[in-house]
């Protein structure tokens, strides 16, 4: 690399922070700015799964028919809010066009690759900073109460197996033996033994601290509101703490990216995939393994002294942070079908976040076609936590003009 590249990263979620760490490990001079506190965007309350088995793009073939059915059901796991917003319309058209098998195969390959890299990277970070972010490698169990759900889980297992993610099909007895916290009758499950989970805010903070030790400057409560450009270059970034300049600028603002991109007359088609996460008191029969309750699409993550239940994906405008009680209650009701929970579980924390969803299900990680010093790293949909170190590696390679270890083509910015 050229000595001491000066890089300004906008956005201190897991994507911006891992990017800062990666670049600083390689000698770059980096500043991260965030409009709030580091790690309090979508990276705050997610399920914390680092699961290459779930490296699926959102627009999977067959999703269309399912989502039409789900639209009728106010408690369904996926909901598309009807709206006359032209951005939503354009996004949906591109989403539909992306539901084809060859694109899906290419996307899964790319997403599994960066997720597998990330799984290893988190494991190394955990060795370096032990007991900082509750990293555990207990695998992931998909559990199903219906034949159709089990067939769908097995289908996913076969799909990711071809990309080197091992998993096995379990019958009902094997499911109960592996995870005694599951109650009632189930049809079976699929177990992926190599997957991991972690505490998302702690992971983001641990990596931020490591980056600071490398010399990264982190400025919280510093909001970008405009840019000054000259031809194909951004020459100044206007922030609430004054103007800033840098050789290269990285936009890592998750679901806020479309708004900032518009200031630059750029199109980053990201919708908010709203999801909820509830932290409840530990159960008498507390699960040890993260669980995907297949029919309800609920992610259950054991924590040291509580349990996280996360779910729903409601496609909304990136500014809609409203809370819909029906959808929150559906998570509790769905969890009770699989776990021994009290009638009225005590919810210690309710959180909602907007997953930054691109219409083709692949993040944008690449230089802007319009501004030669603008790099975009946004749109990591349901996979931002689990793909962050791999995404940062790709970003680092491209920003520092080195040969990328992953194929950058599926992630390129100019596809939109
Ligand atoms: C319920 C739920 C469960 C999930 N579970 C998982 C999971 O198990 N595993 C997984 O991999 N992913 C999961 N995800 C997805 C994951 O949380 C996201 O993909 C990831 O957090 C995106 O990270 P990010 O850094 O791009 O965005 P963010 O974390 O949102 O960071 C963007 C940052 O940009 C800052 N910002 C925005 N605008 C400006 C501005 N103008 N100026 C300065 N700063 C600005 C914000 O303050 C914010 O901190 C889940 C998401 C949800 C909602």
Ligand 1 pocket check for 398: Cβ under 6 Å: no
Measuring from atom 13 of ligand 1, which residue has the nearest CA? 382
pLDDT of residue 375: 98
Q: Which atom of ligand 1 is nearest to the CA of 38?
A: 49
Mean pLDDT value of segment 17-40: 98
Ligand 1 pocket check for 34: Cβ under 6 Å: yes
Band (pLDDT 50/70/90 cuts) for residue 3 is: very low
Is the per-residue pLDDT at 63 higher than 70? no
Ligand 1 pocket check for 356: Cβ under 6 Å: yes
Q: Which of the listed residues 254, 292, 323 should we mutate to test ligand 1's pocket, taking the one with most ligand atoms within 8 A of CB? A: 254
pLDDT of residue 71: 58
Distance CA 24, CA 10 (A): 15
Q: Write 239-242 long-range contacts (CB < 8 A, 24+).
A: 239/33, 240/35
Is the per-residue pLDDT at 384 higher than 80? yes
Is the per-residue pLDDT at 108 higher than 50? yes
Which tens digits make up the pLDDT trace of 129-173? Answer: 999 999 999 999 999 999 999 999 999 999 999 999 999 999 999
What pTM, to 2 d.p., does this model score?
A: 0.96
Ligand 1 pocket check for 77: Cβ under 6 Å: no
Are 390 and 408 a contacting pair, CB within 8 Å?
no
**DSSP SS3 for 118:** helix
User: What mean pLDDT is reported for the chain?
Assistant: 93
- Tokens for 89? 């319309």
pLDDT of residue 76: 65
Is the per-residue pLDDT at 326 higher than 70? yes
Are 381 and 356 a contacting pair, CB within 8 Å?
yes
Q: Give the domain ranges of the chain.
A: 6-44+202-268+361-415
Q: Which of the listed residues 19, 298, 319, 355 should we mutate to test ligand 1's pocket, taking the one with most ligand atoms within 8 A of CB? A: 355
Superfamily designation of domain 6-44+202-268+361-415: FAD/NAD(P)-binding domain (3.50.50.60)
Helix (H) or strand (E) holding 205: helix 200-213
- The separation between the first and the last C-alpha atoms of the chain, rounded to the nearest angstrom, is 29
Torsion of CA 219, 225, 230, 235, to 10 degrees: -10
Q: What percent of the chain has pLDDT over 90?
A: 84
């Amino acid at each position: 690399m050229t000595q001491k590249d000066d890089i300004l990263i906008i956005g201190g979620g897991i994507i911006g922070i891992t990017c800062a760490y990666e670049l600083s490990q390689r000698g770059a001079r980096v500043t991260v700015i965030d409009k709030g506190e580091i790690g309090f965007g979508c990276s705050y309350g997610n399920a914390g799964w680092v699961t290459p088995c779930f490296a699926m793009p959102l627009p999977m073939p067959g999703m269309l028919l399912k989502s039409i059915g789900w639209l009728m059901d106010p408690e369904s796991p996926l909901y598309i809010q009807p709206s006359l917003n032209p951005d939503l319309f354009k996004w949906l058209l591109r989403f539909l066009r992306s539901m084809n098998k060859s694109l899906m195969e290419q996307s899964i390959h790319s997403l599994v690759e960066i997720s597998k890299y990330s799984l290893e990277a988190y494991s190394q970070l955990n060795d370096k900073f032990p007991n900082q972010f509750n990293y555990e490698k207990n695998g992931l169990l998909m559990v199903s109460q219906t034949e159709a759900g089990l067939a769908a889980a097995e289908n996913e297992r076969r799909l990711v197996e071809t990309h080197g993610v091992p998993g096995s099909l379990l019958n009902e007895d094997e499911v109960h033996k592996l995870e005694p916290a599951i109650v009632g009758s189930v049809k079976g499950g699929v177990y992926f033994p190599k997957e991991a989970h972690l505490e998302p805010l702690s992971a983001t903070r641990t990596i931020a601290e490591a980056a600071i030790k490398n010399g990264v400057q982190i400025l919280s409560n510093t909001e970008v509101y405009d840019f000054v450009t000259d031809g194909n270059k951004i020459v100044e970034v206007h922030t609430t703490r004054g103007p800033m300049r840098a050789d290269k600028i990285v936009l890592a603002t998750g679901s806020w990216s479309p708004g900032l991109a518009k200031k630059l007359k750029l199109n980053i088609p990201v919708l908010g995939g709203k999801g909820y996460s509830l932290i409840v008191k530990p159960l008498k029969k507390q699960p040890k393994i993260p669980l995907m309750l297949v029919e309800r699409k609920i992610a259950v993550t054991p924590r040291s002294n509580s349990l996280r239940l996360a779910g729903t994906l409601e496609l909304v405008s990136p500014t809609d942070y409203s809370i819909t009680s029906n959808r929150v209650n559906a998570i509790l009701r769905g969890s009770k079908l699989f776990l021994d929970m009290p009638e009225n579980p005590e919810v210690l924390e309710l959180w909602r976040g907007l997953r930054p969803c691109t219409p083709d299900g692949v993040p944008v990680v690449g230089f802007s076609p319009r501004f030669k010093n603008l790099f975009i790293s946004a749109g990591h949909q349901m996979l931002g936590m689990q793909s962050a170190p791999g995404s940062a590696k790709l970003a680092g390679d491209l920003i520092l003009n080195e040969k990328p270890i992953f194929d950058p083509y599926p992630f390129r910015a100019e596809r939109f």
